[in-house]
Amino acid sequence: MANRRIGMISGDGIGPEISAEVRRILSAAGFDPEWVELEAGQPALDRGLPAMPEETIQAIRELGIALKGPTATPIGKGHVSANVALRKALDLFANVRPSITIPNLKGHFEDTKIDLIIVRENTEDLYAGIEFQPHKDIAQAIKVITRPGCKRIFKYAFEMVKAQGRKRITAVHKANIMKLTDGMFLEEFYLMANEYPDIIADDIIVDNCCMQLVTRPEQFDVLVTENLYGDIVSDLCAGLVGGLGLAPGANIGEHYAVFEAVHGSAPDIAGKGIANPTALLLSAVLLLRHIGEHEKATSISNAVLKVLGDGKIMTGDLGGTATTREYGDAVIAALAS
């Protein structure tokens, strides 16, 4: 294990502080790989490089796997998001985001058992980056949905449902309005469903899905959706179970995997030592499961559940006063108990 090499992008904003804390907790749990530091986000921009430098992408190609802290995307012209660049370059086509109720954590849905996973297609849709301005008063973006893109995300999603022993998968779309793009997405979904007769497959229109999620979220098991709907719906789901500070994510491709929190770089609280490292820590738990380190993954997630369930040592986003470090200390103490 000592010579396992994993890429580590600390990122910017709160990235460096939560990354350091997560590495400290992983080490306390007995996971000490060789972390290969890789640059992206503001530190790269400051050196005149793109937000996701080619050398970082190449390093992940060689390592195969990375843990990534948040990187801010400057709004407006000339900046390609580091995340979008990475997903495209490594063809990380599946973005997997679990949302699970944390027992005893206070919140709007504290008495509701939410245990759902969003599988978001990560490379197509309006994120294809095809935007142009044919006239000074008209700006256009092109939504791209391809049949091979649909097939591989559905294959991945149905296989994931099967492997995890889940029961149901729901396609989220707007095919009543976008009859060709979302229509193709839906058509391919049901074609794939035919190959998995033991899994319940159904679909829901995205606006109704949002309404159902904030009224009866417990009804959902796995949601599979396009890139833009997935972005929005997964933030909504993060909010259902305690907020962005707790929501982990995995970007999976055929050859590479990059694990990162759903949240951004939170510049409003950066450098204060008060950010919640849980989302990145739970992303690291997904990484551990991906490489077969299930025991360590379970012991870390149990420690997190214990600390959050006790409710005594929590960061500001969850209504507490603990610093990032104090929270990390509590998780490390819970590892041993």
Q: Annotated catalytic sites, by residue?
A: 127, 174, 207, 231
The token pair at 233 is 């719906």
Q: Which span sits near ligand ATP by CB under 6 A: 3-11, 124-132, 259-267, 298-306?
A: 259-267
Per CB under 6 A, 72 contacts ligand ATP:
yes
The CB-nearest residue to ligand ATP is 264
Which listed residue (116, 275, 282, 322) binds ligand ATP by CB under 6 A?
275
Residue of the chain from 92, 258, 269, 281 that contacts ligand ATP (CB under 6 A): 269
Closer CB to ligand ATP, 214 or 232, in the complex? 232
- Least separation in angstroms between residue 84's CB and ligand ATP is 11
Residue with tokens 């035919």: 194
Is 264 an interacting residue with respect to ligand ATP (CB under 6 A)? yes
Stretch 52-71 residues interacting with ligand ATP (CB under 6 A): 70
101: left (phi over 0), alpha (psi -120 to 50) or beta: beta
Tokens coding 137: 């008063």
CA distance 46 to 39: 11
Strand order, beta sheet including 115-121: 34-38, 5-9, 65-68, 257-260, 250-252, 94-100, 115-121, 222-225, 168-173, 200-205
Q: Which helix (H) or strand (E) holds 84?
A: helix 82-89
Total residues contacting ligand ATP by CB under 6 A comes to 16
Choose between 200 and 244: whose C-beta lies nearer to ligand ATP: 244
Would you say 86 or 266 has its CB closer to ligand ATP? 266
DSSP code string of 221-242: SEEEE-HHHHHHHHHHHHHHTT
Q: How near is the Cβ of 98 to ligand ATP at its closest, in Å?
A: 16
Nearer Cβ to ligand ATP (245/253)? 245
- Match 């097939």 to its residue by tokens: 151
Distance between CA atoms of residues 143 and 86, nearest Å: 20
Q: Which residues in this chain contact ligand ATP in the complex, by CB under 6 A?
A: 14, 70, 72-73, 244-245, 263-266, 268-269, 275-276, 279, 317
